[in-house]
Amino acid sequence: MATLLGLLLLPSSAKQTLGGFPEVSPFVQCGVQGFTRCRWVWKCAPRRKQLTRCYGLRLARRRIRSVSTSVPRLDGRLYGRTAPNLIVVDRFIGCLGGCEGHPTMTRSQLVAAAALLGLANHAYFRRYEPQTAHYPLAALLLQPIALMLTLPDASLTLPNALIASISFLGTLSASIVAYRLSPFHPLAHVPGPLLAKISKLWGVNAVLSSRRHLILKRLHDEYGDIVRIGPNEVSVIHADGIRAVLGSSGFPKGQYYEPWTDPTLPARNLLTLRGDAHANRRRIWNRAMSTASMKDFEAILANRITQLLGRLDEFAEQEEPFDIAAWFSYLTVDFMGDMAFGGGFELLRDGRDSEGIFSILKVGVKAMSILSQVPWLTPSLALLPGSKNATKKIHAFTLSRAKERVRAGPQGHKDLWYHLMDEDGHEKTKPSMPEVLIDGGLTIVAGSDTSSMALNAFMWCILAHPDIYARAQAEVDAVYPEGEGMLSSDRHAELPFLNACFQEALRLYPPVPSGGGRRVPAGDARLVGDTLIPDGTQVFLPHYVIHRSAANFAPAPDSFDPDRWLRAEHAGHVHNAAAFIPFSYGAANCAAKHLAWRELLMTASAVLRRYDVRFAQGGRLPPGGRG
């Protein structure tokens, strides 16, 4: 009777569709012995779409389930509670009560299942951190669909797919945010801005603004020596941090450096190598940068400085303003090309960037700086068309220069190529061509940009302080009264004030202001000051902020004061020379720092000895004005 009652409750349109009991019998006949799955029943029903509009069938389903003895079969026979046909009719009516033509897994159940899947994903990825985004992104996109395909009572429709995806991704995101802000996170004890704790998008935005070093300075002024700047990142300016993080027993390079590699090449450059691989390559670089090798490089540099002076003479004769920053850049690029490959650029000759190298470097360095904030995205983005245009141009140039260098054979002097290729035969195994190529490219990118920035910072600072400019020029004139010997490093020790001016300029405006990231190895958590840095954390030491900390340099840490380097021992002055790290610190510091220092002093001595330089009308002061 319950079955009949259910059918009587149907709207008249449904009764007409059924057309009497004989019309229903085909559905019952589908329920053969052992067949209990409702999802296949509708295949026997040519009128299923009309039947599913009978909204009263939900009530009929509940009443049929209350049958406890026997009900009349539609063909006149009886069956008991174990008869499979009752189950079929029951399931079939339940199906009709759901979405049109689909079985009934309610949307609330689907939402719950997707939410549980999101929580499971967070637990998995927290335990097994992905190094690339290929598979995690694919998994996040496909899992809601896979969920609907595997659950026995769910159906694959666009509304269900959207609901499952929203529930899955929403729960996953909420779980991640809640954990990162919770007291259970390993960095919960480290203060920092809320958005930085939640997402690395905060770091990406800081890089895009080109003010990341200034933002870090403000945060350290607000929160102290150690600040949380990412979900698993901290910025450290504590005096103990330099040795603890960068020293011989410090931390290895972290994921920050991964975007600076090219996965299509069979070798890594010196900047991105770690452990023994770095030590082996660095040994070759150290030999290339030995005192004996410096004389060869000085001869190359002297030729380029002479060429620079010739071009500046033209501006001096006409007394017309010019952009000295651009000419310093031309000098450093030409010199690095000569040093690495025996030639290649002629920017000083052309007076312009005829190769487009600056635009390539600007775009490439900016892109790498952004990707360093989300390094796991790099391999995926590298698959996009046009994503490697800048690096391809640099590689094409280095390859062409390498071919010319090989064809030219031994040079009259020992350039960097000579040492990197181990033409002296010091190594048991000769370096491979890809290793030499990629390090040659690194020399041009890293060496030219940082040296030009240092020269520009120096010139800005002394021009903004005419009294300091006059003292530096007088010292150069006294050491090189006839201008002879200024294109040599032999008398650089007699230029203490000029050295102090460069040290102070690099203190205020380090070429790499935010520093590179190191990663705390598993099981190597340690205290920096009184703060525990847990394993798995990326640690940054921002040079700009460390150099301007009153704990390291006082008084007036934001002022340009070269004399602080000459009176470091005076009472009342704070001068922590160990906190001066424009070339980084430790075994992975700048391999060419001694060459860079000679380049700076030789160029500055030549310019100050030969010219009186002033700001042009309307010329800008450096950031912060006169200090």
Share of the chain above pLDDT 90, in %: 46
Mean pLDDT of the chain: 79
DSSP letter at 445 equals I
Q: What is the pLDDT of residue 154?
A: 61
Residue type, 558: D
User: Is a pLDDT exceeding 90 seen at residue 562?
Assistant: yes
Given this model, what pLDDT does residue 200 score? Answer: 93
> What are the pLDDT digits (tens) for 5-48?
333 333 444 333 333 333 333 333 333 333 333 333 333 334 33
Please tell me the predicted confidence (pLDDT) of residue 381. 72
What is the model's pLDDT at position 625?
Answer: 41
Residue 412 is predicted with a pLDDT of 65
pLDDT at 404 (0 to 100): 77
Query: Is pLDDT larger for residue 6 or for residue 415?
Result: 415
Q: Is the pLDDT of residue 511 over 50?
A: yes
> CATH classification of 246-610 is 1.10.630.10, yes or no?
yes
Residue (of 345, 344, 440) closest to 401 by Cα position: 344
Kindly indicate the confidence band of residue 394, based on its pLDDT and cuts at 50, 70 and 90.
low
Q: How confident is the model at residue 619 (pLDDT cuts 50, 70, 90)?
A: low
Question: Looking at residue 35, what is its pLDDT?
Answer: 34
User: Could you tell me the pLDDT band of residue 437, with boundaries at 50, 70 and 90?
Assistant: confident
Which of 280-284, 355-359, 409-413, 600-604 holds the top average pLDDT? Answer: 600-604
DSSP-derived letter for residue 352 is S
- Please, what is the Cα angle at 308 between 304 and 311, to 5 degrees? 140
Section 346-369 average pLDDT: 84
Q: Is residue 157's pLDDT more than 90? A: no
Instruction: Report the pLDDT averaged over residues 246-250.
Output: 90
Per DSSP, the residues of 194-233 read: HHHHH-THHHHHHHHTT-HHHHHHHHHHHH-SEEEEETTE
Residue 505 reports pLDDT greater than 90: yes
Packing angle of the helix pair 291-318, 324-341 (nearest 10 deg): 150
Local confidence band at 496 (pLDDT 50, 70, 90 cut-offs): very high
Which of 76-80, 213-217, 474-478, 540-544 has the lowest average pLDDT? 76-80
Task: Tell me the range of 283-292, 339-348, 399-408 where mean pLDDT is highest.
Answer: 283-292
Please tell me which residue, 380 or 592, carries the higher pLDDT value: 592
Helices of type H across 37-83:
48-51, 57-64
What's the Cα-to-Cα distance from 552 to each of 172, 220, 533, rounded to whole Å? 43, 14, 22
Please give the pLDDT value at position 263.
67
- Residue-wise pLDDT tens digits, 38-91: 333 333 334 333 333 333 333 333 333 333 333 344 333 333 333 343 333 333
435 vs 583: which has the higher pLDDT: 583
Annotation-wise, does 590 bind a ligand? yes
According to the model, what pLDDT value does residue 422 have? 84
**Average pLDDT value for residue range 569-583:** 88
Q: Is the pLDDT of residue 134 over 50?
A: yes
Burial class for 521, CB neighbours closer than 10 Å (0-12, 13-18, 19+): exposed
Report the distance separating Cα 220 and Cα 442, nearest Å.
Answer: 32
Q: What's the pLDDT at 449? A: 87
Share of the chain above pLDDT 70, in %: 77
pLDDT value at residue 443: 85
Question: According to the model, what pLDDT value does residue 385 have?
Answer: 65
At residue 617, φ and ψ (nearest 5 deg) are: -55, 125
Mean pLDDT, residues 375-402 taken together: 70
